[in-house]
Structure 1
Amino acid sequence: MARIRARLRSNRATPPAGNTAHFNGWTAHFERYALQDAAGRETTFSHAEAEVLRLFLDSPKRLISRAQMQESLGGAAGESFDRAMDVRISRLRTKLGEDPKNPRLIKTIYGAGYIFLGDVTWS
């Protein structure tokens, strides 16, 4: 039931425009799994990282709890899912040049989840 709800919600949340997001000097090309910075340099990201990034970019400036992430991404319950999310988010932060001690785009809200603070436009 949770997967059906997540699928319905993701269909609703998918932007009508293209598959490219622009945020804070970055461009995410989801069709080819590439992040491009303002200078034009590209970094690739994995499918798993793309799922998490897409979840953040579809809901900017809104708190996303671990339960919502688990429901949306279809992960198994438990500590292994939490750890996998931590790793994916850490890798995304690294690719976005975030300071691990003080990230600006993907903030951890202790005990609640994560929030993406960038302004997002789709094309």
Structure 2
Amino acid sequence: MKRQKITDNNGVGLLEVMVSMIIISIGLLGLAPLVVTSIEGNVISQDISTAGNLIKQSIEFYEGLDSISSVPLYISEDGLQNRFLRTTHIWDNTTDTLVPNDVYCIEVDVSWVDHKSVSHSRNYSTYILKD
């Protein structure tokens, strides 16, 4: 009986597995900042959506009223959802000649400071008919 040498090199060795794991680890570490950026983007988007909802809520409130008693009207609400400041300004053609007759102009501003102490604001203006 003759001894045969085993020379089958078709498998993957431990060294190759370790090198590939290191390469994959470095690649995944490179993606970590993208996760942080994505989370920060979601927080900013949530703030902008909240500001939009606060604006919409104010406009819909005044659209639902039969009449607005005292014009010009300036209302400031602070501490909305613990961070937002909403100001609503309503006027008509008695205080601004650019506003057409039988129409109220409503302007709503929402401002806030984010977790990085950066100020943001959103505003919206619209007209509603007087009844």
With the length of structure 1 as denominator, give the TM-score of the two structures: 0.24
Higher RCO (C-alpha 8 Å, min separation 6): 1
